[in-house]
Structure 1
Amino acid sequence: MDVDFHVYMPVLTIIGTLTLGAMSPGPSFIFVVRCAVSLSRWHGISTAIGMGTGALILSIAALLGLQTIFSVMPISFILFKVCGGCYLIFLAFGIVKSASIQLQTIDTKGSNNASLFRSYFLGLGTQLSNAKTMIVFARVFTTLLPQNIPTSFYIAIPICTFLSNTGWYLAVALILSVKGPRCTYLRFKKLFDYLSASVIGVLGAKLMVSN
């Protein structure tokens, strides 16, 4: 059976655009790096999967007409921005609070399920809390999707979005969880934590006041 690749060009374009967006520095990147270098490779992997799950949820929401909801009910977008900004600021304070705690390299065998789940939900929450990311998803889908969306797109796009985002953050986690980067982080932990908290706090505040 012949496959008309032209029909699936919007899917490839959307996934490519969202993948490039994921590669840009932001809270998601910072938390994946921090979990990978300060805890363990498996914590970084768990965070990466959480980021991918968040991207999957955002893609489903965009397919279901998220842009329309924000247009019809502007207050919903304002509330989402405020809640997302508060969440990022909360995470920034958490990083500052733990900046002075000396961490030891954690053997992956010693990682417990509870801490891995925490890393997963940290990634999920960070991805879903960024209102700008949600708007990017909504606008990309609105711009690039055809007027009549094939049923297969409702399955293909979320899956491809999950795989592309998870793949990128997994690569980050695997590369930065090796001994060299982890030792460097542990040596300058307080400085890195303060810088990370500052960036995330500023992004959270900017999110709440942006148009």
Structure 2
Amino acid sequence: MDPVFALLGILGALAAGAVSPGPSFVLVARTAVAVSRGAGLAAAFGMGVGGVFFAALALLGLQALLMQVAWAYALLKLAGGLYLVCLAIRLWRGASAPLAMGGMIAPAGLLKPFAFGLLTQLSNPKTAIVYGSIFAALLPADPPGWLLAVLPPSIFLIEASWYAVVAVAFSAGRPRAAYLRSKSWIDRIAASAMGALGVRLMVDTAVPPP
């Protein structure tokens, strides 16, 4: 496959995956509307860094190792599921508290929302397999150096840009006002979504597909 078409195909497939709703979307949207636009953008930056991490794993062929070493992959899925469940419990407990006290992320500083974004992105090791599958299907057998150099920053731009759009959209006046009116219900819905995804990861670990 021509390297240019390979690059476009890989980025298109990853962009389609990035816009699918999941815990990353929930976290960035909730951070932007509950804390600030800057905090949401910091979380979006963390998502981008997480995408680059998974791309590096795929390029190094480590996703194949995860598939071969079943216990390591299961351990990573279990850890990711536990992280999402803990995050969901924390969010649920703060749902009925005032925003200043019940926010999942402290208003001061951007390091914490960045860390939440990065850890949420890394909490699902299945993403490493998705990246690896896309690369295996579309990456040339002997890719040129420029393609390997362009992929990581391009993937960062796709992941970070999409979640930056989410952060900007949800930090606008109307979404923020709607959130403040219904904070407890919105937080509990977000917590339920995150918790369900975490439980699903752990169930997949305990009961692998046939």
Q: What displacement does 1:36 show?
A: 0.4
2:87 alignment partner, one of 62, 81, 91: 91
Counterparts of 1:105-120 in structure 2 under 5 Å?
Answer: 112-113=108-109, 116-120=110-114
Please give the TM-score of this superposition, normalised by the length of structure 2.
0.91
> Where does residue 176 of structure 1 map in the other structure?
170
Counterparts of 1:1-211 in structure 2 under 5 Å?
Answer: 6-103=2-99, 112-113=108-109, 116-210=110-204, 211=208
> Where does residue 103 of structure 2 map in the other structure?
none
Q: Partner amino acid for 2:87?
A: L
| 1:86-127 CA distance string (max 9 Å, x none) | 1110110110111111116xxxxx9532xx110000000000
Q: What displacement does 1:208 show?
A: 1.6
Separation of aligned partners in 2, 1:194 and 1:88: 14
Q: Partner amino acid for 1:127?
A: Q
Unaligned runs of 5+ in 1: 105-109
Separation of aligned partners in 2, 1:159 and 1:196: 30
Separation of aligned partners in 1, 2:126 and 2:38: 28
Q: What displacement does 1:7 show?
A: 2.1
Separation of aligned partners in 1, 2:138 and 2:203: 28
Q: What displacement does 1:150 show?
A: 2.0
- Is the Cα contact below 8 Å between 1:132 and 1:207 reproduced in 2? no
- Is the Cα contact below 8 Å between 2:3 and 2:143 reproduced in 1? no
Unaligned runs of 5+ in 2: 101-105
- Is the Cα contact below 8 Å between 2:39 and 2:113 reproduced in 1? yes
Q: What displacement does 1:152 show?
A: 2.1
Q: What displacement does 1:139 show?
A: 1.1
Separation of aligned partners in 2, 1:157 and 1:24: 21
Q: Partner amino acid for 2:118?
A: L
| 1:7-42 CA distance string (max 9 Å, x none) | 221111111111110101000000000000000000
Q: What displacement does 1:132 show?
A: 2.1
Percent identity of paired positions between Structure 1 and Structure 2: 41
Separation of aligned partners in 1, 2:108 and 2:77: 33
- Is the Cα contact below 8 Å between 1:55 and 1:165 reproduced in 2? yes
> Where does residue 107 of structure 1 map in the other structure?
none
- Is the Cα contact below 8 Å between 2:63 and 2:128 reproduced in 1? no
User: For the aligned residues, what is the CA RMSD?
Assistant: 1.6
Separation of aligned partners in 2, 1:76 and 1:153: 30
Please give the TM-score of this superposition, normalised by the length of structure 1.
0.90
- Is the Cα contact below 8 Å between 1:131 and 1:207 reproduced in 2? no
SS in 2 for 1:152: helix
Q: Partner amino acid for 2:147?
A: F
Aligned residues: 200
Separation of aligned partners in 2, 1:125 and 1:141: 23
Separation of aligned partners in 2, 1:149 and 1:111: 44
